[in-house]
């Protein structure tokens, strides 16, 4: 199939429905591109070719993505019969007995799971480099990072292996790789999909699952597939009024857009990042939207303190599932993970709750901004994609 990359996921599924191509032929096209590009990118770290062919042979559901090859990130989501390692040697033998609910929903949509993609250990860094699986490179320039932590998925999509791939986001892990690789990346609303049955919520609600994709409509249609709770979820998001795919096709009303070309922390921005957000602001204004410089008023330091507390405590919790609460063998985790877990282990329960409340207070401050504006338009990152190795995964300075 020579024009595989010219179609998004919905487009490929339409070809299958019309009988113009078979799921097996789509898988072959994906595997050809993986064989061509993965040796230089290291995007796919666990091939599941035989399982994908078996899934096709067993018959696929007639869902919106019937026959489309798909990749799952090596973090959070479980694929039956395939280790869920969190890109950590500590979890190298963690074999799930069943698919996680989000993966099961993806299968029911007709997606063919053909492999798992690289992640930094426990998704803790903004680059995709791990001691377990090695580093992933950006398809556009292989001396640069694809971002993290969903960099394996982003590299696979940007290179044309698959039109979309599973991703997760707690602190930018969908949005950063999407920005670095020129893709569309949406972090869904808290509890829009379920973390079950393994967990009640990820990172105390900060982490969500979705995809990185080449088209907006694929992202919308996939969100229709995975949205909704499962029995026992601690809370759920308000259901949408109509399918997200329908929203993509609806005319857009005039929006109130506040944009910023400075970082809340005061970190200097690369001129190209400033130029990009200013170009986007001018484009939105030319489309008839109200655009002005504006930012929410909140305490960035308090927000960061709460964020660090949640990440440190959850890192220790991830380790405690294996060790029973003891610190791990240093040979089984990376230095940054070990240092962050040490910090998490030392956080008193009362301080954890207080810092979490502080995080919620800042979130409410930011939410007030959206009483006046529909969108806050900012650069995703303060810098352009960094060279491979700029973020030393051996560091223990948290």
Q: Hey, which residues are catalytic here?
A: 73, 149, 173
Are 216 and 248 in contact by the 8 Å Cβ rule? The answer is yes
């Amino acid at each position: 199939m020579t024009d595989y990359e010219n179609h998004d996921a919905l487009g490929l599924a339409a070809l299958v429905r019309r009988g113009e191509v078979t799921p097996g032929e789509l898988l072959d096209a994906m595997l050809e591109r993986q064989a061509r590009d993965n040796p230089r990118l290291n995007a796919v770290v666990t091939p599941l070719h035989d399982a994908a062919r078996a899934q096709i042979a067993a018959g696929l559901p007639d869902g919106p993505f019937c026959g489309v090859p798909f990749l799952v990130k090596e973090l959070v989501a479980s694929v039956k019969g395939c280790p869920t390692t969190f890109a950590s040697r500590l979890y190298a033998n963690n074999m799930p007995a069943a698919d996680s609910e989000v993966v099961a929903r993806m299968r029911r949509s007709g997606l063919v799971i053909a492999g798992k993609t690289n992640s930094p250990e426990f998704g803790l860094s903004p680059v995709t480099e791990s001691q377990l699986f090695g580093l992933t490179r950006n398809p556009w320039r292989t001396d640069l990072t694809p971002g993290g932590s969903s960099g394996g998925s982003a590299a696979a999509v940007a290179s044309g292996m698959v039109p979309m791939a599973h991703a997760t986001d707690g602190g930018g892990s969908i949005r950063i790789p999407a920005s670095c690789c020129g893709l569309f990346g949406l972090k869904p609303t808290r509890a829009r999909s379920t973390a079950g049955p393994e967990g009640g919520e990820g990172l105390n609600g900060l982490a969500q699952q979705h995809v990185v994709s080449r088209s907006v409509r694929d992202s919308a249609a996939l969100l229709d597939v995975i949205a909704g709770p499962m029995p026992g979820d601690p809370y759920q998001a308000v259901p949408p009024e109509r399918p997200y795919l329908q929203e993509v096709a609806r005319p857009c009303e005039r929006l109130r857009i506040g944009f910023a070309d400075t970082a809340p922390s005061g970190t200097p921005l690369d001129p190209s990042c400033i130029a990009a957000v200013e170009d986007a602001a001018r484009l939105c204004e030319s489309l008839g939207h109200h655009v002005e410089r504006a930012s929410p008023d909140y305490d960035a330091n308090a927000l960061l303190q709460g964020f660090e507390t949640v990440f440190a405590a959850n890192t220790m919790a991830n380790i405690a599932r294996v060790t029973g609460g003891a610190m791990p063998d240093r040979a089984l985790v990376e230095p940054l993970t070990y240092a962050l877990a040490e910090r998490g282990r030392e956080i008193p329960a009362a301080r954890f709750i207080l810092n979490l409340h502080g995080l919620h207070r800042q979130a409410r401050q930011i939410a007030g901004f959206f009483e006046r504006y529909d969108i806050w338009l900012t650069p995703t990152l303060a810098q352009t994609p960094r060279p491979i190795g700029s973020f030393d995964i051996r560091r223990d300075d948290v």
